[in-house]
């Protein structure tokens, strides 16, 4: 097996790393404190081609592979998870269904403005009674005079309520035994976007509830064949887990970076605390776990790029990196001591941002179920 990145992948990684350090890092603490959406950073991400990184150049995308996408997400999450999830949710969740199942007209209408970052796309699956149990979708859509009339609600939807949000793709029951996928543009009458949630972490990302009350969209907004929405969204979730795994990997690496730097500077009993065996053991364990998680995450991306079955590996990567992110952030806070609870230190934000990685894009328990089923249990 070849474990080396290509020249293009290394260049992309280094470009995103520089951007994250020079542009994202100086703004991250204030964005987190004010809970302000990072419009300027998203604009710059669009200019760098990162908002459309895995899509064909004919639509304004970067034409890059899944591993390149994962590298970009990892480097952003290494500095700030709010910026990373904004890019990842827009790309692998919001835009990907339109690319994978959209017809020529839908692709031409949406992909150029989404790939450029001019507009954001959202992914509407979760409901009050349908998250892990995605088949329990209650939102309904009925045809009337050449239009879908949508009734229902979604929750925990990322990128839906910003000034540059363009559309959301939603699951809806289009019959008693069928779920379909429909594009709903922002600004459509009957489509109401709720107030942003007050969250423990990811404070600078946009997360809201949505409601649909007599919301009418053209029949042509059906995405792919009628009745295939549930299957489509499961495929999107498989791919999305690679992005979330890359986020967990990046956050863990960022927490380690901060812990190592602090341990070298902080002195106790006449020497840097980095010289104490207990501190070294914490750092050594996390560093080793990160390398193992990195290989697992990259393997999932490579399998997807090869067109092979990657569902099991993506679930394993997501499970591994989410738990690792929580542990790495906790250990980084512990190494910082009392300063780990002070907001001016990034590890405090990392600690708050980490927990969602064991919940979003399928809980740890769902990942375990996916893995067990793949093993024939």
- CA dist., res. 81 & res. 73, Å (int): 9
Select from 232, 201, 179, 175 the least CA-distant residue to 326. 201
- CA dist., res. 377 & res. 359, Å (int): 23
- Inter-residue contact 70 to 243 (CB < 8 Å): yes
To the query of whether residue 361 is one of the catalytic residues in this protein, the response is yes
Angle, vertex CA 280, rays to CA 276 and CA 281, nearest 5: 115
- CA dist., res. 216 & res. 194, Å (int): 18
Within 10 A of 309 (CB to CB), how many other CB atoms are there? Answer: 12
Longest Cα–Cα distance in the chain: 80
Strands 165-175 and 147-158: unpaired
Residues with Cβ < 8 Å from 209, sequence gap 6 or more?
Answer: 153, 154, 155, 156, 157, 194, 197
- Inter-residue contact 141 to 172 (CB < 8 Å): yes
- The catalytic residue among 23, 258, 330, 361 is 361
- Residues with catalytic roles: 361
């Amino acid at each position: 097996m070849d474990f080396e990145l290509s020249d293009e992948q290394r260049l992309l990684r280094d470009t995103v790393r520089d951007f994250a350090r020079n542009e994202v890092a100086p703004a991250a603490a204030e964005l987190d404190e004010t809970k302000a959406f990072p419009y300027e950073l998203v604009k710059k991400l669009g200019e760098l081609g990162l908002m459309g990184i895995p899509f064909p150049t004919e639509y304004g995308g970067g034409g890059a592979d899944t591993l390149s996408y994962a590298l970009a997400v990892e480097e952003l999450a290494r500095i700030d998870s709010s910026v990373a999830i904004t890019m990842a949710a827009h790309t692998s969740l919001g835009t990907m269904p339109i690319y994978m199942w959209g017809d020529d007209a839908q692709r031409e209408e949406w992909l150029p403005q989404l790939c450029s970052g001019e507009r954001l796309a959202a992914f509407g699956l979760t409901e009050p009674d349908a998250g892990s149990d995605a088949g329990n979708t209650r939102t309904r859509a009925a045809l009337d005079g050449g239009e879908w009339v949508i009734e229902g609600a979604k929750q925990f939807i990322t990128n839906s309520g910003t000034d540059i949000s363009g559309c959301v793709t939603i699951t809806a029951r289009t019959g008693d035994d069928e779920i379909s996928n429909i594009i709903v543009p922002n600004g459509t009458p009957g489509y109401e976007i709720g107030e942003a949630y007050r969250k423990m972490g990811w404070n600078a990302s946009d997360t809201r509830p949505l409601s649909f009350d007599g919301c009418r969209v053209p029949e042509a907004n059906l995405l792919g064949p009628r009745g295939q929405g549930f299957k489509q969204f499961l495929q999107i979730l498989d791919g999305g887990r690679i992005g979330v795994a890359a986020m967990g990997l990046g956050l863990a690496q960022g927490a380690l970076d901060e812990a190592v730097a602090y341990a070298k500077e902080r002195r106790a009993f006449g020497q840097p605390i980095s010289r104490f065996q207990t501190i070294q053991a914490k750092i050594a364990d996390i560093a080793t776990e990160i390398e193992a998680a990195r290989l697992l995450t990259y393997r999932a991306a490579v399998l997807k790029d090869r067109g092979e079955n990657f569902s099991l590996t993506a679930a394993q990567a997501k499970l591994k990196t989410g738990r690792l992110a929580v542990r790495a952030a906790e250990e980084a806070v512990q190494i910082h001591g009392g300063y780990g609870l002070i907001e001016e230190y990034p590890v405090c934000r990392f600690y708050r941002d980490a927990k969602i990685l064991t919940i979003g894009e399928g809980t740890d328990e769902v990942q375990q179920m996916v893995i067990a089923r793949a093993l024939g249990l």
